[in-house]
Amino acid sequence: MLKKFSVRNKTYSLPIFLPDATLGVVRGLSSQQVAQAKIKGVVINTYHLMSKPGTKILNKVGGIKSFMNWDGLTVSDSGGFQLFSLIHSNPKLGKIIDDGVILYSSEKQRKKTLFTPENSIQVQFAINSDIMICLDDFSPIDASPTRLKQSVKRTIDWAYRCKIEFEKQCQTKKLIGKNRPLLLAVVQGHRDYQLRQKCAEELVKIGFDGYGFGGWPFDDQGNFDYEMARVTAEATPDNKLLFALGVGSPTNIMRLREMGYDLFDCVLPTRDARHQRLYVFNQDPAKLDLHKIKSAKTANWYEFLYLDRGKYATDFSPVNQYCACPVCQNHTKAYLHHLFKIKDGLAYQLASAHNLHFYAQVMKNLK
């Protein structure tokens, strides 16, 4: 379990939660508001930024940090999951082949674009992120054994190609030593123990700055698959960054941190905020030792506050008495209930800021 890491002349304490800033923005919040919530980094999406605003603009401005005025850690997802989701939901929009991902402009207009591992790295250098992630082949939940093997093979092959392009870009741009970004590879294999082991072993042979827990993280009953997360963690070096992609709830994060995971990203805090669901501590977080309850299957140290309920219309207490965020210091449950009721945008902004501050506090407690 790493305690800290350095990239581009800056050192970060671990663990770190990265809210999704898919298109260069955490929905409803400015970069300054995200920083005020004690968030240290964000994750952005390569596939989406490739078209909006596009690499031409990103290159001109010097990358996503300058564009969104963000001084913290920036991680760029490869875009693989979004491409998989797009094609899986509508196969007429593209297909995955050994060379990369073929995309069609629409169902009727069959203008073809090939998105390769090399393209993914090239776009990530235009984004100019601190941590880049290799393009991987995300397999369907119901994938056959043959498809799973294909997914693992492609993921390994693509990671190798990504590393070659990454080193080429670093050499061209003279990014060496402490000025160099980091490159992470994703471990696939779904719920097949041996395939995950093989994928991890082959990726480690290639050599990366860190590794990610990829694939669908839930079992057939919809429960988080902690065993596969453990397999992935144990198959990767202890001295390399470990990224739990798409994870998750505070309880998921708490348990995976004990396995050695360092980085986490998820839409939950901001998405829940937009649905009037706020995270609140049940006790003073300053006195909360999450390491002592690491084996708990259910969390009792926090709960959800549903501000759409009528009882909050006259509740003039803070959102959470144990929270030091600006929202809790300056606003009441009744006021947020009112803002949600009249559907004012400030409601989503305040709720998102609060939830991110909650997640940041969880990270602080897990250090």
157 catalytically annotated? no
| Residue 238 identity | D
- 308 CB-near residues (< 8 Å, 6+ apart): 276, 337, 340, 341
- Which 8-state DSSP code applies to residue 285? G
Pairing of strands 4-7, 10-13: antiparallel
Angle at 111 between CA 108 and CA 116, to 5 degrees: 130
- Classified as helix, coil or strand, 241 is strand
Q: Which of 20, 77, 136, 272 is catalytic?
A: 77
- 313 CB-near residues (< 8 Å, 6+ apart): 334, 337, 338
Q: For residue 34, how many other CB atoms are within 10 A of its CB?
A: 25
- Classified as helix, coil or strand, 321 is coil
Q: Which of 20, 225, 262, 265 is catalytic?
A: 265
Nearest residue to 80 via CA among 204, 212, 231, 241? 212
Dihedral sign computed on CA atoms, order 84, 87, 93, 96: positive
77 catalytically annotated? yes
Catalytic residues: 77, 265
